A and B are shown apart, each in its own frame.
Chain A
Amino acid sequence: MLSVKHLIDTYSLTADDITQILDTAKSFDPIVNARTIKKVPALRGRTIVNLFLEPSTRTLKSFELAEKRLSADSISMGGSTSSVVKGESLADTIQTIDAMNVDMFVVRARLAGTPQVITQNTDAIVINGGDGKHQHPTQAMLDLYTIREHFGHLDGLKVAIVGDLAHSRVCGSLAPALKTMGADVTLVAPPTFQVGDPTWFGCNQTNHLDDVIEDMDVVYMLRVQLERMEGAAIPSRREYNRLYGLSLEREARMKPNAIICHPGPMNRGMEIDAEVADCARSRILDQVNAGVLTRMAEMYLLLGGEE
């Protein structure tokens, strides 16, 4: 049993919660990655609504596969097909779906706090699939799983999160989760991408990637959202790549056993060079695989725990 009813943010998770999620995910590994029939009846008869209010491909498909592998009944609705675009309020949308008696909402939203608003309008369980610039806890869990698979543990690891921190829900949920598990986190970004108050995450923040890269066990490159370049937070892709991109030259200076992560989708040639994305240190596709396992674990623990 997790200590929380919903999965909204990573601050609310204890180290024990996180360990349960990762261990449960590990138990699903042979089902998903070794069997021909990749399905268990764990959530048979349970109904899950994937409410994706902003475009998403990988997160939505990861949840859908996780739901299928747990035998849940699920439907997916998006911002462009839902009544949200017709001017209906979020509360009305949720109450409408809730009236059809569902067990869980998985929500992806453009606006921070949307999952909280949903919990106020339904008795169903809510999983946050990313809300605005706030939190993306299921991403953090798959990242921790991937890192733990490589090192066997999380405590004491040195992790750099590099990129557009200020606009990043990935950073917002990964940094506190790593801290909870005893890792040491350094935030790296140009000043125009830095977070307002890194002490809230208990992290150091620097704009010098080259000063810290040799000490890191994990270098976690964030996607730079190209639409964020408007307003001139950075002058160009080219300059960003020179100053903050993970090049082969920088990769060569990493510790022998260090790994590279990225939440995807990648801008090859911007935050990460193509050769680096495909190199032996890269765990980027392992992360995608872990996404299904950890999301299965989260849904299983939150829904199955009731019985």
Chain B
Amino acid sequence: MAYLIKGAHVVDPQVGLDDVRDVLIEDKTIVSVEPSIEAADATVVDGTGKYLVPGLVDMHVHFRDPGFEYKETIASGSRAAAHGGFTDVATMPNTEPVTDTGAEVRYQIDTARRAGLVHVRPIGALTRGEKGESLAEIGDMVMEGACAFSDDGHGVQSAGMMKTCMAYVSQFDRAVLAHCEVESLSKNGVINSGRAATRLGMFGWPPLAEELEIYRDIELCRGTKCALHICHISTAKGLEMVKAAKAEGLPVTCEVTPHHLFLCDDDIDETYNTNLKMNPPLRKASDAEALRAGILDGSIDCFVTDHAPHAKHEKDCEWEIAFFGTIGLETSLPLMLTNLVNPGLMSWTRLVEVMAVNPRKVLRLDPVTIAAGSAANLTLIDPTRTVEVTESFFQGKSKNSAFLGMSLTGCATDVFVSGKRTLIDGVVA
């Protein structure tokens, strides 16, 4: 199958491209990128007024498969990913059973291939059962295709265990993705500590619980030389520590979510909207402001969703017993375009770095460039198309979005995954 994407504004900082080009895809590969291409046999995709970028990657999602298929499956999550404009997602291992062996990694990759909408890159657990007690079969998982390792959902509570994990992973050229949370400090916490906790009468989950573990893991990175990636950073002070580690030359990177960038604890009001309950919690407005500065100035490497689907009955209840998390795959790009790119605060080049180039680096995936010979993983974006965030907008199984009710501007219209068109003018194939 051949596609000719005509007249789109192509942005790829990896090859220094930021201009209108025609792009010809044949089978799984980009064969030509030129100011003007004619190809009689190819299906023409009109890119006029749109942007064509290397396929977007969300390196932090929860697909709940196996174990919690009522929330999301690899198939339904793949639809959400395609709808959101992604060619690749990295799935966290807190499934049931936990993804802590090569066989579990293989299951996800094979199931995703059958679904055929997105490259699923499984992240393996650091410790067996994510219990923080003994090493998971990390080498076995590397050999079956695990792209990184994490006990996401929990911090590894024992510093000694985390040191062992990082030292062990350091032999494989893979990063450790650290969910940072000292549970003796965050225990019972369901909302940011301070004013929000006082106002709504609930136990606080303090910034210190996250920052203390970021500090610990950076020091372990110094000792083990294992690449360290801080998951869903939520506080200004945590970001300062990451910046300092980078300045020192340590192999430390970090990511931020849309909800920590564009929402804050002031948004949680007396209606107790449980879609705003996440881990780590929404922080202060000043933290969100610092994180927005960080993703613009380069100190935050990746933009991820922490896509966390939950069934209706797990959210439609009292805040303190509601599950943590919001879905994100389908609103992530629209939020970026609406809040940062369209107003001119973020360049298209920077958007491509945080949503395509850098996540592939952290996950040790082959780079995808918009150049002849590269794999045809591409996202075509209309920055003007309106997105009304309603429950019926979502293609994934769960609807627990923190952004329900918003009207956003800009979204992916077409996605090509290894040359296969998975999103066709906004409709999942």
Say yes or no: A116 contacts B320, CB within 8 Å.
no
The residue in B197, B201, B202, B319 that gathers the most chain A C-beta atoms within 10 A of its C-beta is B201
Say yes or no: B320 contacts A89, CB within 8 Å.
no
Stretch at the interface among B133-141, B310-318, B367-375, B380-388: B310-318
- Smallest CB-CB separation from B197: which chain A residue? A196
Say yes or no: B194 contacts A113, CB within 8 Å.
no
The residue in B193, B316, B320 that gathers the most chain A C-beta atoms within 10 A of its C-beta is B320
Say yes or no: B202 contacts A134, CB within 8 Å.
yes
- Smallest CB-CB separation from A120: which chain B residue? B271
- Smallest CB-CB separation from B270: which chain A residue? A116
Provide the bound-state CA to CA distance between A114 and B194, in Å. Answer: 21
Say yes or no: B194 contacts A112, CB within 8 Å.
no
| Residues 262-297 of chain A, each 1 if its beta carbon lies under 8 Å from chain B, else 0 | 000000000000000000000000000000000000
- Smallest CB-CB separation from A165: which chain B residue? B198
Provide the bound-state CA to CA distance between A195 and B200, in Å. Answer: 12
CB distance from A90 to the nearest CB of B (A): 6
Say yes or no: B204 contacts A112, CB within 8 Å.
no
CB distance from A116 to the nearest CB of B (A): 5
Say yes or no: A90 contacts B270, CB within 8 Å.
no
- Smallest CB-CB separation from A195: which chain B residue? B198
Kindly state whether residue A169 has any CB partner on chain B within 8 Å: yes
Provide the bound-state CA to CA distance between A90 and B272, in Å. Answer: 14
- Smallest CB-CB separation from A91: which chain B residue? B316
Say yes or no: A196 contacts B204, CB within 8 Å.
yes
Provide the bound-state CA to CA distance between A230 and B203, in Å. Answer: 15
Kindly state whether residue B114 has any CB partner on chain A within 8 Å: no
Q: Which of A90, A196, A197 contacts B317 (CB 8 A)?
A: A90
Interface residues on B, range: 20 to 34
Interface residues on A, range: 20 to 34
**Residues on the A chain within 8 Å of B318, using CB:** 90, 109, 111-114, 117
Provide the bound-state CA to CA distance between A133 and B197, in Å. Answer: 10
Say yes or no: A112 contacts B317, CB within 8 Å.
no
The residue in A9, A113, A114 that gathers the most chain B C-beta atoms within 10 A of its C-beta is A113
Given A91-B317, A109-B318, A111-B320, the answer on whether A132 and B195 have CB atoms closer than 8 Å is no
The residue in A89, A169, A172 that gathers the most chain B C-beta atoms within 10 A of its C-beta is A89
Given A132-B320, A197-B194, the answer on whether A116 and B271 have CB atoms closer than 8 Å is yes
Q: Which of B195, B201, B313, B321 contacts A131 (CB 8 A)?
A: B201
CB distance from A6 to the nearest CB of B (A): 11
CB distance from A230 to the nearest CB of B (A): 12
Q: Which of B195, B202, B270, B313 contacts A89 (CB 8 A)?
A: B313
Provide the bound-state CA to CA distance between A116 and B321, in Å. Answer: 14
Provide the bound-state CA to CA distance between A134 and B203, in Å. Answer: 10
The residue in A8, A111, A133, A200 that gathers the most chain B C-beta atoms within 10 A of its C-beta is A111
- Smallest CB-CB separation from B318: which chain A residue? A111
Q: Which of B194, B201, B270, B316 contacts A169 (CB 8 A)?
A: B201
Kindly state whether residue A135 has any CB partner on chain B within 8 Å: yes
Say yes or no: B195 contacts A113, CB within 8 Å.
no
Given A113-B272, A116-B271, A197-B195, the answer on whether A89 and B201 have CB atoms closer than 8 Å is no
Given A116-B272, A117-B272, A200-B195, the answer on whether A111 and B200 have CB atoms closer than 8 Å is no
Enumerate A102-122 residues with CB–CB distance to B below 8 Å: 109, 111-114, 116-117
Provide the bound-state CA to CA distance between A131 and B320, in Å. Answer: 11
Say yes or no: B316 contacts A89, CB within 8 Å.
yes
- Smallest CB-CB separation from A194: which chain B residue? B198
**Residues on the B chain within 8 Å of A196, using CB:** 193-195, 197-198, 204
Q: Which of B195, B201, B271, B316 contacts A112 (CB 8 A)?
A: B201
The residue in B193, B272, B316 that gathers the most chain A C-beta atoms within 10 A of its C-beta is B272
**Residues on the B chain within 8 Å of A131, using CB:** 201
Provide the bound-state CA to CA distance between A198 and B201, in Å. Answer: 12
**Residues on the B chain within 8 Å of A200, using CB:** 195, 198-199
Provide the bound-state CA to CA distance between A197 and B202, in Å. Answer: 12
Provide the bound-state CA to CA distance between A131 and B200, in Å. Answer: 10
Enumerate B181-235 residues with CB–CB distance to A below 8 Å: 193-195, 197-204
Given A109-B318, A111-B318, the answer on whether A9 and B198 have CB atoms closer than 8 Å is no
CB distance from B39 to the nearest CB of A (A): 56
**Residues on the B chain within 8 Å of A9, using CB:** 270
**Residues on the A chain within 8 Å of B271, using CB:** 116
Provide the bound-state CA to CA distance between A169 and B202, in Å. Answer: 10
Provide the bound-state CA to CA distance between A6 and B317, in Å. Answer: 19
CB distance from A70 to the nearest CB of B (A): 28
Provide the bound-state CA to CA distance between A112 and B198, in Å. Answer: 11
Say yes or no: B201 contacts A197, CB within 8 Å.
no
**Residues on the B chain within 8 Å of A135, using CB:** 201
**Residues on the A chain within 8 Å of B201, using CB:** 112, 131-135, 169, 172
Provide the bound-state CA to CA distance between A109 and B203, in Å. Answer: 16
Q: List 14 A-B contacts (CB under 8 A).
A: A89-B316, A112-B201, A112-B202, A112-B318, A113-B270, A116-B271, A116-B272, A117-B272, A133-B203, A134-B202, A172-B198, A197-B194, A197-B195, A197-B199
Task: Other than A113-B319, A197-B199, A199-B195, give 16 A-B pairs with Cβ distance below 8 A.
Answer: A89-B317, A90-B318, A111-B321, A112-B318, A112-B319, A113-B318, A116-B271, A132-B320, A134-B200, A195-B198, A196-B198, A196-B204, A197-B195, A197-B198, A200-B199, A201-B198
Query: Can you list the 9 inter-chain pairs with the closest CB atoms, starting with the nearest?
Result: A134-B201, A113-B272, A111-B318, A197-B195, A133-B201, A197-B198, A112-B201, A111-B320, A196-B198
